[in-house]
Amino acid sequence: MGKRITVALDAMGGDYAPLETVKGAVDAVKELDVNIKLVGPAEQLHAELAKYQYDKERIEIVHASEVIGTDESPTMAIRRKKDSSLVVALNLVKNGEADAIVSAGSTGALLTGALLIVGRLPGVERPALGTCLPTKTGFTFLLDSGANVDCKPKYLEQFAKMGSVYVENVFGIKNPKVALVNIGAEKEKGNALTKETYELLEQTDTIHFTGNIEPRNIPYGEADVIVCDGFVGNTILKLSEGLAKTIFEILKGEIMQGFYKVGALILKTPFKNMKKFMDSDEIGGAPFIGLKSLVVKAHGSSNAKAFKNAVRQCVLFAEADIIGKIKDKI
């Protein structure tokens, strides 16, 4: 194991900040080999941290007086709010004072800020947002899940390479299966982007390309990594969330109506397991891959457990030297 890494945590990002970010930081230093720089209004964070027992040397508060709202224009916010928790945290990474950053704030501001302040790895055309989608057999790593809405085939080829490195090293899946999201199984199916991308992926011998995956088969977990443009990827991600929620609501309503008491009892465990199946807290965030350092976008509704797991991703990422491996593969 290498030296202990430092993660900058945007203490003001997310619906439950700073309560859950601070608790997540405390849990992280207790469980993981990591130091945390908590970025936000110093006074408020000190008061919050005072509630906990932890090794004082491992969490440092870095003051930032402003906060970027989720409704602000990303580019404007990054340029103007120099003393926001997000910009200060990104600068810690840029200046080498932190190795990675976790934020549950505005996705747009985080992606824009990461590109402007942290910067792309040489050779990477477009960094991609990767998300673990739950499947029947485990999960599939989907990229791009929303950072690049208009893509060229070359970008998708790089997503495939970066996704393979990530899944192999963070989740230990050897020679991961990579599939292209397409509306038909055959090579000649799809739109202009997927047809050209298929040709390119077929010729890429550093990945294990298994062909197209149709959207209906995504929930069955046939591939470890699936690639598509960010518009389609975000649609897959958000529709899955919305549909799962709706089905639960309908089914629960129906069952409870018919058999209230016994229904509640019988459904307790399966619903809990299904919730876990859909639970993003277990992974803790979506890595934005292809930058000079790791940037993790945590879900807006993240709790302490999600923040801790997002920090865990940063530790695994650093231990496996994923940045170095992506550089080699691109």
Report the site for a copy of itself in 127-146 (rule: CB under 8 A). Answer: 135-136, 146
Pick from 262, 276, 301, 321 the residue near a copy of itself by CB under 8 A.
262
Is 191 a binding residue for a copy of itself by CB under 8 A? The answer is yes
The alpha-helical segments, DSSP class H, found in the chain are: 19-31, 42-49, 74-80, 85-94, 107-113, 153-170, 192-202, 230-258, 260-277, 304-319, 322-329
* CA 273 – CA 45 distance, rounded (Å): 35
Is 251 a binding residue for a copy of itself by CB under 8 A? The answer is yes
Pick from 154, 242, 324, 328 the residue near a copy of itself by CB under 8 A.
242
Is 270 a binding residue for a copy of itself by CB under 8 A? The answer is yes
Strand partners, 103: 297
Nearer to a copy of itself, 47 or 239 (CB): 239
Helix count and strand count (H, E) for the chain: 11, 12
3-state secondary structure of 242: helix
Is 246 a binding residue for a copy of itself by CB under 8 A? The answer is yes
Query: For tokens 């963070």, what's the residue?
Result: 170
Shortest reach from residue 194's CB to a copy of itself, in Å: 8
Is 279 a binding residue for a copy of itself by CB under 8 A? The answer is no
* Cβ–Cβ under 8 Å, residues 283 and 309: yes
Interface segment toward a copy of itself; rule CB under 8 A; list 85-93, 166-174, 233-241, 320-328:
233-241
Task: Lay out the sheet containing 286-289: strands in order across.
Answer: 59-63, 34-40, 5-10, 100-103, 294-297, 286-289, 128-129
Please report, as a single letter, which amino acid is at residue 240: S
Nearer to a copy of itself, 47 or 183 (CB): 183
Is 70 a binding residue for a copy of itself by CB under 8 A? The answer is no
Shortest reach from residue 302's CB to a copy of itself, in Å: 17
Nearer to a copy of itself, 40 or 146 (CB): 146
Is 69 a binding residue for a copy of itself by CB under 8 A? The answer is no
Is 156 a binding residue for a copy of itself by CB under 8 A? The answer is no
Is 192 a binding residue for a copy of itself by CB under 8 A? The answer is yes
Query: For tokens 């019988």, what's the residue?
Result: 266
Is 214 a binding residue for a copy of itself by CB under 8 A? The answer is yes
Query: What number of chain residues touch a copy of itself (CB under 8 A)?
Result: 51
Closest-CA residue to 18 (of 93, 111, 108, 104): 104
> Which one-letter DSSP state was computed for residue 217?
G
Nearer to a copy of itself, 119 or 219 (CB): 219
* CA 160 – CA 168 distance, rounded (Å): 12
3-state secondary structure of 5: strand
Look at the alpha carbons of 189, 195, 197, 198 in this order and tell me if their dihedral is positive or negative: positive
Nearer to a copy of itself, 211 or 263 (CB): 263
Is 301 a binding residue for a copy of itself by CB under 8 A? The answer is no
* Cβ–Cβ under 8 Å, residues 209 and 215: no
Is 232 a binding residue for a copy of itself by CB under 8 A? The answer is yes
Nearer to a copy of itself, 1 or 192 (CB): 192
Look at the alpha carbons of 39, 45, 50, 52 in this order and tell me if their dihedral is positive or negative: negative
Is 247 a binding residue for a copy of itself by CB under 8 A? The answer is yes
Q: Which residues make up the interface to a copy of itself (CB under 8 A)? A: 135-136, 146, 149-150, 181, 183, 190-192, 194, 214-220, 229-232, 234-236, 238-247, 249-251, 254-255, 258-259, 262-263, 266-267, 269-270, 273-274, 277
